[in-house]
């Protein structure tokens, strides 16, 4: 079992793997074999470019600025924007920003195709408004539409949990995330994590347990 989330040593950060926990994935015999994947032209270039964007804008560039920097460094000028209709206004602003910075933008909403939810076996009890027509979210359609448009990098904005997975599985171009959906917290899901040991403790941990303090991994 891997428990990197609970590791206090972070030997992989310092390079001192001799002090790493026994279950550290860095200790595995084939850990270095991952390097071979980065020798692929596409993966290697993405990895190098991502590292350069990180170093060049660390704690200085916002996420949307980093995305534009990444796209430019990759030589991409045609971007795709896959967004949730609940963030239609935000998508319009994002599209305007990207175009103002010289990018061509194709944007596709999650409800594209206007496919009724019944088509995938959903019933009235699965709807927000039973008895009414409701379009299903169509992330596969988003991926295919952006492929037809010939986008070089796709930006994901606020797709539902699971729908984001389907979009990434069906995107021909690499995908990066501008923001994820959290309707309760203004699309800032880490707020719940930051409050997990405080105001959100009762919501996030079972009532019969206290908020656990994890032991040091590998001890």
State the CATH number of the domain containing residue 56: 3.40.50.11840
Whether 104 contacts 122, CB under 8 Å: no
Total structural domains within the chain: 1
What's the predicted TM-score (pTM) here? 0.91
Domain housing 42 = 38-181
Tens digit of pLDDT at every position of the chain (219 positions):
999 999 999 999 999 988 899 999 988 878 778 888 898 999 999 999 999 999 999 999 999 999 999 999 999 999 999 999 999 999 999 999 999 999 999 999 999 999 999 999 999 999 999 999 999 999 999 999 999 999 999 999 999 999 999 999 999 999 999 999 999 999 999 999 999 999 999 999 988 665 555 545 444
Encoded tokens for 104: 């061509």
Residue 56 resides in a domain? yes
Write down the residue that tokens 């941990």 correspond to.
Answer: 205
Instruction: Establish if 136 belongs to a structural domain.
Output: yes
CB 199 within 8 A of CB 177: no
Q: Which residues of 170-193 are buried (b: 16+ CB within 10 A; e: fewer)?
A: bbebbbbebbbbeeeeebeeeeee
In a domain? residue 215: no
Answer whether residue 130 is part of any domain. Answer: yes
| Residue 212 CA neighbour count, 13 Å, CB half | 9
């Amino acid at each position: 079992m891997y428990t990197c989330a609970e590791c206090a040593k972070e030997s992989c950060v310092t390079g001192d793997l001799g002090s790493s926990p026994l279950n550290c994935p860095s200790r595995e015999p084939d850990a270095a074999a991952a390097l071979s994947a980065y020798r692929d032209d596409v993966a290697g270039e993405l990895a190098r470019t991502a590292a350069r964007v990180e170093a060049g804008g660390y704690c200085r560039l916002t996420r949307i600025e980093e995305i534009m920097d990444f796209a430019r460094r990759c030589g991409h000028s045609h971007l795709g924007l896959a967004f949730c209709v609940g963030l239609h206004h935000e998508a319009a602003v994002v599209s305007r920003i990207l175009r103002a910075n010289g990018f061509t933008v194709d944007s596709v909403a999650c409800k594209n195709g206007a496919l009724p939810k019944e088509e995938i076996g959903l019933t009235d009890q699965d709807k927000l408004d039973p008895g009414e027509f409701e379009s299903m979210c169509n992330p596969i359609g988003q991926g295919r539409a952006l492929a037809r448009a010939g986008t070089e990098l796709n930006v994901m904005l606020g797709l539902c949990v699971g729908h984001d997975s389907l979009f990434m599985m069906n995107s021909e171009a690499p995908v990066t995330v501008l923001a994820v959906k959290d309707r309760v917290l203004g699309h800032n899901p880490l707020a719940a994590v930051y409050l997990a040991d405080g105001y959100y403790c009762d919501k996030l941990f079972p009532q019969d347990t206290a908020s656990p303090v994890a032991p040091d991994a590998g001890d």
